[in-house]
A and B are shown apart, each in its own frame.
Chain A
Amino acid sequence: MRGLIRTAVAVGTVGLVGIAIIAKWPIAEPVHLGMMAGDAYRGAYLARSSGCIACHTNATSGGAALAGGAPLDTPFGSFVPPNITPDPDGGIGNWSLDQFAVALRQGVRPDGKAYYPAFPYEFFADFSDQDVADLWAAIQIVPPVPVAAAESDVSFPFNLRWGLKLWRAAYMKPAKISPVMGQSAAWNRGKQLVTGPAHCAACHTGRNMLGGLKDSEALAGNDTLPDGSKAPPILAADLVAKGWTVANMAYALRTGVMPDGDVFGGGMAEVVQAGTSFMEEADREAIATYLLEIDGKLPAANAAETPVADAGMTGMVHTPGMVME
């Protein structure tokens, strides 16, 4: 009996020490952007394309811009997108640009704790320093709101933030986007948008029990979205089978009208209304070009009516990051 107690105490002690070590485990890579100047317009375009505005603004209830979004209800709890206005108390006004960069690209708060992956920082991991500075500049023009958003209500054991460090070790997949030689500028631009800022996979890729994205199901659809709805597969073969073309997808990303005449609802309607409808037409065409590519080529039926977007033009105006080198 005494041996059993000793063992239990030993196991408990080791466990506590383990937790203490994990809790102390530094996860942020240092960043030194200093006072890097940003372009507010480019930052605003990137913020819009990345869903920052849609998620951190509770438009339905008339909330102020970036003052905190509508709660995202998930099996792990209810996540409230925080106030990211430049208010020092309610928002992120007392952050440095470096802290902002770490939060955005690495998913780590200024206090060293990890963000939940409800914040899709994995997709923002490849944003350039200039992108981060541009976003920071755009945030500075937003009127500060002194009231912090409500706290997220996350259930046990997911409310133990140190556990996120284990999650990161197991599942975190920071986006790494490099252009593919031989593909058009539009295709590469589309890849950049889909894989990075637009974070299509956040909904259209299946997740495991702990919310990690399943590599094997990339863009193959997700039947278990938090709100009970389904995100369809957006792999080229599925899209072509449903009548999607580059032209009608670019149109749908602006207007919501699908090839069958139905109009997006649910999360995708929000994505269009608060996101893709603000994009440059060339960017919508680039997204469609990338998603509809089959074996490096557009299906013949689509190619004829496809005005190939010159993403380079848009890129010259405002390339939201991940500059193709």
Chain B
Amino acid sequence: MFKNKILGVIALSSLGAAALAHNGATGVVMERMMGMSAMRDVMKGLAPMMQGQIPYDEQAVRDAAAVLQSHASGNLTGLFPEEPIPATSYAKPEIWSDWARFEALSEDLRIYAEGLDISAVNGLEAPALIAPPALPAASMSGMADMDAATMPAKSPVTTFTTEELMGLVARSDLTAATPDAPTAKGQFTGIDFEVTAANVVFEKISQTCASCHSLYRKGN
């Protein structure tokens, strides 16, 4: 009983804090805020686990993946009807002027959240069989790249080539999820979730969040 009260107070106060942050958000803005907060909470729980700071819990990872899936793709984009942005919202108008990219990122989130569910069983140790990047002929640090491709996924260390650092070629550690349709369960372009460490997939999710936030969210 006492515990319930405490939980209630915590829930109310965090709701209050969130509502305060959005300064009286209502309607669809409130719904978006709740969805984003739910995702933030599962990310908070997963981050220390994915860094190996707390024990890995496969079921917790799968539960979190389910929450992320439930807020991704159409469930996410559906909460952004094109309408004047109220002052309470953090949404940027680029969401609607750049809808295809917004939709693609929402879809990336779904794919990676599904991938997290698949890779959860692997924990932090599975070797990442991501296709080794094609080495540019002029690369001065090709050896370092080969090391990165064959390294266990626990600490996804990547050394970038001169061309990657200068922005001349796309970085080899980021593979877009959406361009091609999945060929089989867990098989997507460039990443096979069944043999990928969960933390690698988790980082794909965080990169997707960051891409979306940087383009479409006001403030940091």
Is this pair of chains taken from one and the same complex? yes
Q: A33 interface residue, CB < 8 Å from B? A: no
Confirm or deny: A40 has a beta carbon within 8 angstroms of a beta carbon on chain B. Answer: yes
Residues in A neighbouring B207, C-beta threshold 8 A: 255-256, 273
Contact of B40 with A262 in the complex, beta carbons under 8 Å:
yes
List, in ascending order, chain A residues with CB within 8 A of B171's CB: 278
Point out the residues of chain A lying under 8 angstroms from B55, CB to CB: none
Task: Report the stretch among A42-50, A93-101, A158-166, A212-220 that lies at the interface.
Answer: A42-50
B3 at the A/B interface (Cβ < 8 Å)?
no
Asked if A260 and B40 sit within 8 Å, CB to CB, the answer is yes
Chain B residues within 8 Å of chain A by Cβ, number: 40
In Å, the complex CA distance between A262 and B138 comes to 39
A47 CA / B163 CA spacing, docked (Å): 12
Is there a chain A Cβ closer than 8 Å to B150's Cβ? no
**Which chain B residues lie closer than 8 Å to A248 at the CB level?**
47-48, 51
A264 within 8 A of B: yes
| In contact, B140 and A256 (Cβ under 8 angstroms) | no
From A57, A229, A305, B220 is in contact (CB under 8 Å) with A229
Give per-residue flags for B156-190: 1 if the beta carbon is below 8 A from chain A beta carbons, else 0: 01011011111110010000000000000000000
A53 contacts partner chain B, Cβ-Cβ < 8 Å: yes
A256 pairs with B209, CB closer than 8 A? yes
A255: nearest chain-B partner, CB-CB: B206
- Which single member of B51, B166, B219 contacts A251 (CB below 8 Å)? B51
A138 contacts chain B at the CB level, 8 A cutoff: yes
Q: Is the CB of A44 within 8 A of B166?
A: yes
Q: Which residues of A contact B164 (CB under 8 A)?
A: 278
Contact across chains for A138 and B219 when beta carbons are under 8 A apart: no
Residues of A within 8 A of B (CB): 40-41, 44-45, 47-48, 53, 57, 59-60, 65-66, 138, 141-143, 228-232, 247-248, 251, 254-257, 259-270, 272-274, 278, 280-281, 305
Instruction: Rank and list the top 6 A-B pairs by shortest CB-CB distance, nearest first.
Output: A261-B44, A265-B213, A269-B214, A44-B165, A263-B209, A256-B210
- Chain B interface (Cβ within 8 Å of chain A)? 39-45, 47-48, 51, 53, 138, 140-141, 155, 157, 159-160, 162-168, 171, 203, 206-207, 209-215, 217-220
> 27 A-B pairs, CB-CB below 8 angstroms?
A40-B162, A41-B141, A47-B165, A47-B166, A48-B165, A60-B215, A66-B166, A138-B166, A229-B218, A230-B219, A230-B220, A232-B220, A248-B48, A251-B47, A251-B51, A254-B203, A255-B210, A256-B207, A259-B44, A261-B39, A261-B47, A263-B206, A265-B214, A266-B218, A268-B220, A273-B211, A305-B53
